[in-house]
Chains A and B, each alone.
Chain A
């Protein structure tokens, strides 16, 4: 199972929006509405930010939103804040009870 493809980096100024893509295949991202997103600060454990493509767990700011079109899912962070600087990973259910993560994107707040 190959990792989902994410851009290595993305950046934006405070207050701007940044969108991270996550490209898979019809066997994972395109085939199921089970894409999740994780935020990870350097040296810390990941945190669930989005599940089922666009749902936010309790406590996650509504500045974080998710969407999907075909085999590509996206995470958008609106109103970028300094605290949003972190690594972000997508993950998709890939059928047969298996899962695949993305390659990760480092978001920098300029």
Chain B
């Protein structure tokens, strides 16, 4: 199982960013996928989940209405579109696979910094 995140960078408050995650080594379309973030020096926070087909999505209250998760099963990728970014969105973002309501396949993540 390999998940490689990309797209993180420095962005100003109010800006937008799109994170991508390339999956390999497993039957991608057979799994739900999540995004989880970790603030520097702090704990893990669940952000969003997309189902196998991409039609079922759910978000943490803190990002609802601002973030959109999607997937492309033909390309084995999952994305997170982040709009109206705030300083508190600064974190390392991980893309992970759902295994019976647990999460595996953690990569090194991609760092998002929201600052002026």
Binding site for B on A (CB under 8 A): 1, 3, 32, 34, 36, 38, 45-48, 50-52, 55, 57, 89, 91, 93, 96-104
Contact = CB atoms under 8 A, between A and B. Distances in A.
A101 B49 contact: no
A50 B106 CA distance: 14
A47 B106 contact: yes
Contacts of B34: 99
Contacts, number: 68
B58 A97 contact: yes
A51 B94 CA distance: 18
A3 B107 CA distance: 23
A52 B102 CA distance: 7
Contact of A45 (B43, B61, B94): B94
Interface of B: 34, 36, 43-46, 49, 56, 58, 60-61, 94, 99-104, 106-109
Given A3-B43, A103-B43, A48 B108 contact: no
